[in-house]
């Protein structure tokens, strides 16, 4: 098993390197950049959609300011730069590190990221790591509670549907699950706001933030209630379609196990249906569901929360990534990409190890051999 883990960890290195390289190359040809953004602000233009005439150097750096540079008038390479002092444009390139060749900037970025040195944001006076740390509580809250809620619904519901397969209960709950999965989370979030957050009907839940303004003055119990009061609507809107896949997965896993010979043998021995279901079937049927929990949490943690965060004014990693892309804040963009990719690869390994922990009969090392 240690040899298998070592191989998987070593494979993460070229995978992560490939992700960063492809993203870096794409950014080299993407229009716009931090220099263009500053030029557009000086010219009174839209800073979020400025474009570049030439696909040269206005792209990624490791997030650190670099010294050096020289060459032709830099202003000729930027739309809207006519009339600006070329020396000023050159200073901007040096500040963002764009005076260096792309290959040198990429290698420097890899060296810095290997040491978890992500530099500073281009447009915020704060380090990238500190910026991400400030947004983590929101994303952790959304990801954790949404995953727990979806599992709390899907596992009992999936078991019940498997036991009553083909019944009226199974049919109408399948309809509800499919409809819930088909409704976009952001659309349901708007509906919840209209109904319960003062939109047109009741003012029951708050519309923004994770806590109230008087959070520090509340007791421990008051803080807990206030916290859940604020996340009730966002978590509900996110979990609406999240439990659909795990519900059907749980049902199908139980149906597959219920039809096996060892279940018939247990019933012939006189065991009750509850003893058969939870004493024999549950462990085997829940293997794939439980082993997928780390991946489900990471998926909820990193993806699908952008619109929810925007609608409910929750300043998390999803909103941070989107704003950084729009503003061409490349240190933040690529730090998020690096961390998300690294965590995703690690969670895939943890998920595989979870399979072997739940069911020792599974041996990935033997399978590879």
Q: Select from 90, 101, 122 the least CA-distant residue to 325.
A: 122
8 Å CB contact between 330 and 65: no
Instruction: Report whether 63 contacts 331 (CB < 8 A).
Output: yes
Nearest to residue 21, comparing CAs of 118, 102, 97?
102
The full set of domain ranges for the chain reads 2-123, 129-326
List % helix, strand, coil for the chain (3-state, nearest 5).
70, 0, 30
With 60 as the cut, is the pLDDT of residue 131 above it? yes
Token pair of 175, please? 């309809």
Which pLDDT does position 198 carry in this prediction?
A: 72
Q: Which of 122-136, 191-205, 223-237 has the lowest mean pLDDT?
A: 191-205
Write out pLDDT tens, residues 140-179.
Answer: 888 888 888 888 888 889 888 988 888 999 999 989 888 8
Q: pLDDT tens digits, residue range 62-71?
A: 333 333 333 3
SS3 state at 153: helix
- Given this structure, which CATH class describes domain 129-326? mainly alpha
Place of tokens 């991946």: 295
| Alpha-carbon radius of gyration of the chain | 26
């Amino acid at each position: 098993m240690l040899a298998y883990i070592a191989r998987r960890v070593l494979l993460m290195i070229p995978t992560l390197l490939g992700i960063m390289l492809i993203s870096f190359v794409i950014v080299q040809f993407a229009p716009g950049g931090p220099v263009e953004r500053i030029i557009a602000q000086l010219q009174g233009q839209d800073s979020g959609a400025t474009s570049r005439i030439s696909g040269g150097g206005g792209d990624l750096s490791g997030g650190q300011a670099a010294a050096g540079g020289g060459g032709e008038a830099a202003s000729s390479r930027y739309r809207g730069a006519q009339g600006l002092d070329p020396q000023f444009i050159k200073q901007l390139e040096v500040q963002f590190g764009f005076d260096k060749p792309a290959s040198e900037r990429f290698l420097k970025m890899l060296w810095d990221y290997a040491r978890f040195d992500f530099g500073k944001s281009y447009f915020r006076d704060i380090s990238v790591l500190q910026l991400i740390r400030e947004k983590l509580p929101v994303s952790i809250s959304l990801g954790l509670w949404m995953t727990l809620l979806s599992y709390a619904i899907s596992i009992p519901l999936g078991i019940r549907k498997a036991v009553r397969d083909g019944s009226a209960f199974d049919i109408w709950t399948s309809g509800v699950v499919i409809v819930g999965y088909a409704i976009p989370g952001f659309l349901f979030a708007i509906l919840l706001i209209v109904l319960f957050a003062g939109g047109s009907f009741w003012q029951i839940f708050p519309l923004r933030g994770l806590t109230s303004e008087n959070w520090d003055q509340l007791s421990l119990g008051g803080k807990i209630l206030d916290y859940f009061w604020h996340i009730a609507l966002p978590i509900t809107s996110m979990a609406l379609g999240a439990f659909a896949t795990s519900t059907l997965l749980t049902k199908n896993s139980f149906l597959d196990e219920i039809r096996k010979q060892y279940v018939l043998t247990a019933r012939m021995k006189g065991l009750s249906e509850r003893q058969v279901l939870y004493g024999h079937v549950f462990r085997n049927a829940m293997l794939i569901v439980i082993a997928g929990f780390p991946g489900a949490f990471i998926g909820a943690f990193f993806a699908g929360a952008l619109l929810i965060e925007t609608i409910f004014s929750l300043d998390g990693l999803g909103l941070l990534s989107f704003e950084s892309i729009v503003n061409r804040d490349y240190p933040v963009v690529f730090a998020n990409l690096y961390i998300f990719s690294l965590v995703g690869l690690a969670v895939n390994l943890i998920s595989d190890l979870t399979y072997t922990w739940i069911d020792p009969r599974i041996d990935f090392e033997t399978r590879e051999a």
